[in-house]
Amino acid sequence: MPEAQDLANWLLAHHQHKGEDSITQGIPFLAVLRNDHGFAIPLTQVRLVARLESFSPLPGAPPLLPGATSLQGRIVALLDLGPLVEEETLKPRVGMYVTVVSDGDVEAGLIVTRALDMHLVPDEYIQKEDVTPYIMGRYAWPLSDPQEAFDIIQVANVLDAARHVFK
């Protein structure tokens, strides 16, 4: 995986290529949708984004862990953010997206309905009110019309919640 600064430079070039040159520095995020709810994942913690081609349900597992899949020869636990952010559960379906995130040596795949784009977000755009253990802030993306809001996922805490399910 490239270093964060390499990703930020790529992102800047990507947006300038699209004519979006008003943002030239900031924190890189991957923007995703879970149904109609926008989430942002720090790009330094994203390992892979892939379409869900198959999965195995985990009978008896809590809604946070609805299944597992094989990606690039590895078994990856699938996580649903719904129970953590007080939304309905999202059953995995073929064709959805899996965003593999990591914190240290722990990784899992977040189930999302769509992977949107990468955003380079200046720190001053990030609102730190209404944070929860799983959401570290929010930003409104100024380059979309209408402006879209994204909750920033606290990846370490989401992975910790999944790890505690098995204890």
For residue 3, the model assigns a pLDDT of: 42
* pLDDT one-digit tens code per residue, 79-127: 999 999 999 999 899 999 999 999 998 999 999 999 988 888 888 889 9
Structure tokens at 69: 């899949």
Per-residue pLDDT, averaged over 52-59, amounts to 94
Name the pairing type of β-strands 37-42 and 148-153.
parallel
Q: Please give the domain boundaries of the chain with CATH numbers for all domains.
A: 4-165 (2.40.50.180)
Q: For 164, what's the count of Cα atoms within 13 Å in the CB-facing half-sphere?
A: 7
Q: What is the dihedral of CA 151, 155, 160, 162, to 10 degrees?
A: 70
